[in-house]
């Protein structure tokens, strides 16, 4: 029996980023949903109207519509979305998978954790947009997110990365041990990550342990740089 995967993209990305992984999982008999979050990719919701709560409600509603409990995976900023979704529908989630993702306790914010990396200056990579959004500078996308990815896939990502509502970065998570805390967690860490450094990934895991922890020797974006290895990692979580 295959599993049902729901895959949530990270900041500035949308459902397109799973295009190399989705068919690999489907070929192994799994169902795979890779939605565009509200305002991202092909979704036309105004980014000024987006909040973390609306994203979490969107994914919780999607999960409620599935015939079985799902494996909910989030990449990077997607980690806070899957955590909030799990608070809403813990009984509908088999496992949470954090892929190079922000794994935060209740009350934590993505911005607060990201500030722990003294080697990163957002001004080096981001440009402000309208209505409290940002865009990643095109010359920074490859070195930051895709430093072990083949050039043709790196170029495709550069053409597809969009704007991000920064209010989400400053929103404290609201999680309880009784709901979020009862859902099993796995972590897929990425050793050559220039966006969420491996030291930060491991410090987050130390505070909220995960089992299993699977290590990939890739950049921040194994969905493009190592899709077969990522599919195997996700299948390992499903089998466990």
Q: Reply yes or no on whether 193 is catalytic.
A: yes
| Annotated catalytic residue, options 13, 30, 75, 220 | 220
Alpha carbons 113 and 119: distance in angstroms, whole number: 13
| Cα separation values, 231 from 6, 100, 101, 105, 220, Å | 13, 15, 16, 27, 15
CA 100-213-188 angle, to 5 degrees, is: 25
Return the SS3 of 61.
helix
Q: Which residues pair with 216 in a beta bridge?
A: 190
Q: Choose among 130, 141, 139, 193: nearest CA to 164.
A: 130
In the set 30, 36, 193, 219, the catalytic residue is 193
8-state DSSP, 125 = T
Provide the 10 A C-beta neighbour count for residue 111: 14
CB 13 within 8 Å of CB 27: no
Kindly report the length of the chain: 240
Distance of CA 197 to the CA centre of its chain: 15
CA–CA separation, 168 vs 237, rounded Å? 28
For residues 217 and 207, the answer to whether their CB atoms sit within 8 Å is no
220 is catalytic: yes
Which residue from 57, 67, 124 is spatially nearest to 94, judged by alpha carbons? 67
- The residues annotated as belonging to the active site are 193, 220
């Amino acid at each position: 029996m295959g599993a049902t995967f729901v895959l949530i993209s990270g900041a500035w990305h949308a459902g397109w980023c799973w295009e190399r992984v989705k068919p690999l999982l489907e070929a192994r008999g799994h169902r795979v949903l890779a939605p565009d979050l509200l305002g991202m990719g092909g979704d036309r919701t105004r980014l000024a109207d987006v909040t973390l709560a609306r994203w979490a409600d969107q994914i919780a509603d999607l999960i409620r519509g599935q015939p079985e409990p799902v494996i909910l995976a989030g990449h990077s900023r997607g980690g806070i979305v899957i955590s909030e979704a799990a608070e809403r529908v813990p009984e509908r989630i088999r496992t949470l998978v954090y892929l190079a993702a922000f794994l935060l306790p209740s009350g934590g914010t993505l911005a607060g954790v990201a500030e722990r990396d003294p080697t990163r200056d957002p001004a080096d990579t981001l440009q402000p947009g309208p209505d409290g959004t940002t865009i990643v500078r095109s010359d920074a996308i490859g070195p930051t997110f895709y430093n072990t990815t083949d050039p043709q896939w790196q170029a495709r990502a550069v053409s597809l990365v969009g704007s991000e509502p920064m209010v989400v970065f400053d929103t404290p998570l609201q999680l309880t041990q009784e709901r979020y805390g009862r859902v099993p967690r796995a972590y897929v860490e990425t050793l050559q990550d220039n966006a969420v450094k491996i030291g930060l990934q491991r410090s987050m895991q130390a505070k909220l342990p995960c089992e299993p922890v699977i290590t990939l020797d890739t950049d921040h974006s194994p969905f493009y740089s190592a899709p077969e290895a990522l599919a195997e990692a996700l299948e390992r979580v499903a089998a466990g």
